[in-house]
Structure 1
Amino acid sequence: MGMNEPLNRKLRMALVGGGQGSFIGRVHSIAACLDNRAVLTAGALSSNPERAKASAPDYGIEDTRAYTSYQEMLEAELKLPADERIDFVSIATPNHVHFEVAEAAVKAGFNVVCDKPMTYDLAQAEQLLETVQSSDVVFALSHNYTGYPMIRQAREMILSGELGEINAIRSQYIQGWLVEAMEHQESKQAAWRTDPSKSGAAGAFGDIATHAYNLGRFMTGLLPDQVSCHLKTFVDGRRLDDYGTAIITYENGALGSVTASQITHGRENDFEIEIDGTKGSLKWRQENPNEMIVRHNGKPHQIYTRDPKAAHINAMGRAACRIPAGHPEAFFEAFANVYNAAFDDMAKRACGETFERRDSVYTNCYDGVEGMFFIQQCVASSQENAAWVPLRHEAARK
């Protein structure tokens, strides 16, 4: 089998953001190249021109392809021969920069993989969706938790009816790293995440509750109807929420809950989801990602493990595995699975083939609009004392 069939070559990647001191930029570069389907070719690694240039050697980017701004990068890459220029742009910047980079890249004809949430606010997300719809590019959003083998195993089980009708989704994402005012202690990551001019209208809910909500949607396919949310800021002087809980009603009558905290002592990256159906229930926890518990009343609990050769692992779960059972696969591999699904469509596009733009395995632009609508409506509900507000965005509906 050729590489990225039918293209039969590596895809050329450009990274925007990810300069010195970045966490997620390095993750994007590792995940994209993990399966040898892409090569990091170019970058505009910082909004500071000197830092952008200085960061390039850390990624092995040649000086001639190390740009001082994304505008310079897009203009220069378009001037290169088609067999040399980049194929896609990965965006690993703070939220307030996502839209301008993504829209410019799409208009220039480049595929995009954007970190979540998709934009700074809903208006930008809706405008970006229109831009993507008028193009033929692949647009993926890096909701990386959708890439874990056990999550994809669960999705196929649920969609095939193994759990019956879904009654409830309980998802919580609990951290403790902002229990103190890290934004005042020279923490770059804390500073922009708690700054409404860079992060957007929500803090913890925009940063991590979006993952919790997205994962429930990905696994069950249920369409939301309404949401009631209460957001709270516990650290004195902080400008955005650091704790919150939302209750969601779904169109089939199911109930969901999303809880997010960044101020819980001793919790690291504790993301957990439980799903109840009429025939069974399941539970998955990100800090033990290679296992999933499935329960049926009156029967022993089942522990599913990531095993690509086991008979109980379905096709979607098996396709997300790389190595034999007992060898842990985790964060980078899950992130890479999101990239792999997007790469399949990038290769098709490059060869003039059609691909699915709405119902993709990777989180797409429609999903991104829905995620931004979730953030907006949760903030609106909280401002009205947890009033029920609509959670149906028709443009994002599948």
Structure 2
Amino acid sequence: MGRKLRYGMVGGGPDAFIGDAHRKALNLDGQAAITAGCFSRTPEKNYEMGEQLGIDPERCYENAFVMAEKEGAREDGIDFVVVVTPNQSHFSICKAFLEAGIHVSCDKPLAVTADQARELKQLAEEKGLLFLVTYTYMGHVTAKHAREIIKAGEIGEIRTVMAEYPQGWLAFEGQWGGKQGSWRCDPAQSGNVNCLGDLGTHVENAVAVMTGLKVKRVLAKMDVVVPGRVLDDNDVVLVEYDNGATGVYWTSQVAIGHDNSLRVRIYGSKGTIQWFQENPEVITIIREDGRIQEVHRGHSFIAPQAASYGRLPSGHTEGWLEAMANLYASFIKCIRGKADDTFTEDMIDYPTAADGLDGLNFVEACLKSSRQGNIWVDVK
């Protein structure tokens, strides 16, 4: 395996959720250790987090741009950075690390505009650097199995897709969901969208990964339901794909009773696939003769490429952290391949900057559609 890779983190301070999740996921395989960071704009919190993680105070930086410059110049500098800040800052931070010659992992959405995402994608390509966008759910073994059996033609030609991601945590007037919710509802930090950027990009990516289809055009209705909000909290999108198939996407933060209910139903000419991320140990396949197969992770029926990511025997539940760790497993394998000149493009089994750009193209087309009276708009 060689030495542990060194990574740094921007964001993820003492009271942050997602940064801690990334660190835990990276710890699962023991292939990378955190050695640098800029965890908070508040100096006390920044150094507090660095001390908790055992980081040399000299590598606990005052801001991300100093960190990129200093780490890029060190012989023992970080191999990659993990960016887990609010959306508005993704572009400038990721760009700084790419310019410093450092591989990047960034939480979704990749940026706040498609032009920003396009620039990051092009810069990574020009520099020969790897870029992971953490659409975590596509790290699940069962999601990868869905991709493999659809690719093999087991459900025939895809005809229509129904996909949704409802939550209920921002359903109440005067309640902003604490720190995690308040920045998502703030245009200065989140950009032009809230719910569609947070949840809709997951839906777009999940369907794209599983089916291989590209969205051709959309018709969107993006609503602000809760009084006092500025950005969308409930979205319905009609979709047409490049093969002529259709779809309906629903995302919501006002659906009381739902937590993280990402669900995808894919209907083909020979059968149907149903996948629910809150029960990721199971995928349901309905055959054209009416047979219903409930396939469980950990059994030999799972496609070998998907099964290779399994960590535990069947009946021992794998979940969201394992899914994120699976994305990092592929990312780290590719970084090692870059270092020893064995890397090939087909090694990539994680969402890239190209996928992040697809998500922003989808968001911008939906925004245009909704603002112009719910009309059909082509996706770039």
TM range (shorter): over 0.9
Shift of 1:79: 3.4
- Alpha-carbon distance in structure 2 between the residues aligned to 1:255 and 1:16: 39
- Alpha-carbon distance in structure 2 between the residues aligned to 1:294 and 1:288: 15
1:133 aligns with 2:125: yes
Aligned to 1:60: 54
SS at match of 2:40: coil
Shift of 1:61: 2.3
Shift of 1:125: 1.1
Aligned to 2:22: 28
What whole-Å deviation, never above 9, does each CA across 1:81-137 have from its counterpart, x for those lacking one?
A: 2xx211000000000110111001001000000000000212211221221121111
- Alpha-carbon distance in structure 2 between the residues aligned to 1:219 and 1:59: 37
TM-score scaled to structure 2, two decimals?
0.97
SS at match of 1:303: strand
- Alpha-carbon distance in structure 2 between the residues aligned to 1:298 and 1:177: 40
Counterpart of 1:255 (choices 217, 232, 246) is 246
AA aligned to 1:38 is A
Shift of 1:237: 1.3
- Alpha-carbon distance in structure 1 between the residues aligned to 2:136 and 2:72: 29
- Alpha-carbon distance in structure 2 between the residues aligned to 1:245 and 1:181: 21
> Residues 108 and 293 (structure 1 numbering): CA distance in 2 closer, same or farther, change over 3 Å?
same
What whole-Å deviation, never above 9, does each CA across 1:47-82 have from its counterpart, x for those lacking one?
A: 22222112223333232321121122122223322x
Matches of residues 133-172 of structure 1 in structure 2 within 5 Å?
133-172=125-164
Aligned to 1:76: 70
Counterpart of 1:244 (choices 219, 235, 242) is 235
AA aligned to 1:323 is L
Query: What is the percent sequence identity of the aligned residues?
Result: 35
Shift of 1:260: 0.3
Counterpart of 1:370 (choices 328, 348, 358) is 358
Aligned to 2:96: 104
- Alpha-carbon distance in structure 2 between the residues aligned to 1:79 and 1:133: 21
Asked whether the 8 Å contact 2:174–2:228 carries over to 1, the reply is: no
Aligned to 1:196: 187
- Alpha-carbon distance in structure 2 between the residues aligned to 1:37 and 1:107: 25
Aligned to 1:340: 329
- Alpha-carbon distance in structure 1 between the residues aligned to 2:216 and 2:69: 43
AA aligned to 1:238 is R
- Alpha-carbon distance in structure 2 between the residues aligned to 1:258 and 1:174: 10
TM-score scaled to structure 1, two decimals?
0.92
- Alpha-carbon distance in structure 2 between the residues aligned to 1:163 and 1:60: 50
What whole-Å deviation, never above 9, does each CA across 1:202-249 have from its counterpart, x for those lacking one?
A: 110110111011100000101221100000011111010000110110
Asked whether the 8 Å contact 1:152–1:320 carries over to 2, the reply is: no
SS at match of 2:368: helix
- Alpha-carbon distance in structure 2 between the residues aligned to 1:366 and 1:90: 18
1:43 aligns with 2:37: yes
Shift of 1:349: 0.9
Shift of 1:252: 0.9
Structure 2: gaps spanning 5 or more residues? none
